[in-house]
């Protein structure tokens, strides 16, 4: 690593960056917004009638005994549900054929009011959507009630539509264990621990079911941080974010015809090397820090790890920028400020964190091999004698 940092930058396909209180400024997490931004209505969100929609039409008059009932007789004022024909019209008693395609409910009311002005005294017309076929968005994927939801219900944002579809599906929890199952697992763990203790020759913790640090999760529980939200508008992708980002203030307005898809998108960081438990760590919140990630695997192993050799490997964004270079971040935990730096450095999906072994540990590996070879050779000589 020292040679790579001192060498020619052009000759290497990656950059080496030392994380210090000075360099961390360019990489530290941006603060989350205090509240979601105000979502302005989109220009195309006006709810207009179209063929296939079903409208409710009611007409009132001020005085009794007129052509239409008064508002006190609300049931009699309902002229029934009107299906918009393929030609974009509806039939209204005493009015006739009314062209409604492309008109909002208030505009339809004004048109009908003008048409009956000479047949009723001070008429009042109310038009509402009963079955909205066109002013809808499609919500599919990991939601409780996938299907179309209507914008006429006051939906404004992507999160509004997801919530109207029942929200994300509930995570599947493991079935409760019986007392007998728990006792059997405890007995097996105790036996495994004894066997590991008897056969271990040192050199770090031994994975066993007796040590909860090494227990693997039996069920993958999907939370909002592991769901991806995709929004397409007229066949064009306009949003691709984690659901947690939308909940943190990244929501956007929706328009009729939008397609919203929720799908699993596990975001993990891979931890390797001299840590208590190597493996994948889920990114469970925006701007999860390097310190939190190391804490999730039990931290560095004191007797094995090289405190000056912690590295974060990050590929460039090759999909959007083919010329992007990979980066290797190096952190020296022997410096007291490194803990603060680790708290400010956010990990990203597909990062690989590697903690190098201490030089003494590598030396111990060689000595252990030589010792076992010598002991085996000594045993053979003793037997021959």
The 3-class SS string of the chain reads: CHHHHHCCCCCCCEEEEECCCCHHHHCCCCCCCCCCCCCCCCHHHCCCECCCCEEEEEEECCCCCCCCCCCCCHHHHEEEEEECCCCCEEEECCCEEEECECCCHHHHHHHHHHHCCCCCCCCEEEEEEEECCCCEEEEEECECCCEEEEHHHCCCEHHHHHHHCCCECCCCCCCCCCHHHHHHHHHHHHHHHHHHHHHCCCCCCCCCCCCHHHCCCCCCCCCHHHEEEEEEECCEEEEEEEHHHHHHHHCCECCCCCEEEEEECCCEEEEEECECCCEEEECCCCCCEHHHHHHHCCCECCCCEEEEEEEEEECCCCCCCCCCCEEEEEECCCCCHHHHHHHHCECCCCCEEEEEECHHHHHHHHHHHHHHHHHHHHHHHHHHC
Q: Which domains does the chain have, with CATH numbers?
A: 1-30+287-385 (3.10.560.10), 54-131 (3.30.1950.10), 136-171+219-264 (3.10.560.10)
d(CA 100, CA 50): 7
pTM above 0.85, yes or no: no
User: pLDDT tens digits, the chain, 385 residues: what are they?
Assistant: 566 555 555 666 788 889 999 999 888 766 655 444 445 544 445 678 888 888 888 888 877 767 777 776 766 667 888 888 989 999 988 888 999 888 888 999 999 888 888 887 788 888 888 877 777 899 999 999 999 888 877 788 999 999 999 999 876 655 656 667 777 777 776 666 565 555 444 444 444 444 444 444 443 444 556 788 999 998 899 988 888 888 877 888 888 889 999 998 888 899 998 888 888 988 877 788 999 999 999 988 887 788 788 999 998 765 666 677 888 999 998 888 999 999 999 998 889 999 988 775 555 555 556 556 655 555 555 555 5
């Amino acid at each position: 690593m020292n040679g790579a940092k001192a060498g020619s930058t052009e000759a290497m396909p990656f950059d080496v960056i030392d994380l210090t209180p000075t360099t961390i400024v360019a990489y530290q997490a941006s603060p989350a917004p205090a509240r979601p931004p105000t979502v302005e209505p989109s220009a195309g969100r006006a709810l207009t009638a179209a063929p296939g929609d079903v409208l409710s039409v009611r007409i009132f008059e001020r005085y009794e005994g007129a052509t239409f009932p008064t508002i006190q007789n609300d049931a009699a004022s309902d002229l029934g549900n009107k299906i918009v024909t393929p030609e974009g019209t509806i039939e209204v008693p005493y009015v006739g054929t009314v062209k409604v395609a492309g008109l909002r409910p208030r505009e339809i009311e004004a048109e009908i009011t003008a048409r009956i002005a000479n047949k009723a005294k001070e008429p009042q017309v109310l038009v509402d959507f009963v079955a909205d076929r066109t002013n809808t968005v499609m919500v599919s994927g990991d939601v409780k009630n996938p299907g179309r939801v209507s914008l006429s219900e006051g939906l404004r944002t992507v999160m509004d539509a997801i919530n109207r579809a029942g929200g994300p599906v509930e995570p599947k929890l493991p079935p409760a264990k019986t007392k007998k199952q728990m006792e059997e697992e405890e007995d097996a763990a105790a036996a495994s621990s004894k066997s590991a203790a008897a056969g271990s020759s040192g050199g770090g913790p031994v994975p066993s079911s007796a040590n909860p640090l090494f227990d693997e999760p039996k069920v993958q529980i999907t939370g909002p941080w592991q769901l991806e939200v995709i929004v397409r508008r007229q066949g064009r992708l306009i949003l691709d974010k984690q659901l947690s980002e939308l909940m943190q203030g990244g929501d956007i307005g929706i328009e009729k015809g939008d397609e919203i898809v929720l799908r699993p998108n596990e975001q993990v960081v891979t931890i390797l090397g001299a840590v208590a438990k190597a493996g994948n760590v889920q990114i469970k919140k925006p701007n999860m820090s390097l310190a939190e990630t190391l804490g999730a695997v039990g931290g560095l192993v004191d007797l094995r790890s090289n405190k000056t050799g912690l590295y974060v490997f990050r590929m460039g964004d090759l999909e959007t920028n083919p010329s992007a270079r990979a980066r290797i971040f190096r952190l020296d935990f022997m410096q007291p400020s490194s803990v603060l730096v680790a708290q400010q450095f956010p990990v990203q999906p597909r990062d690989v964190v590697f903690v190098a072994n201490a030089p003494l540990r590598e030396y111990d590996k060689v000595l252990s091999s030589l010792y076992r070879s010598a002991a085996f050779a000594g045993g053979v000589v003793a037997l021959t004698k």
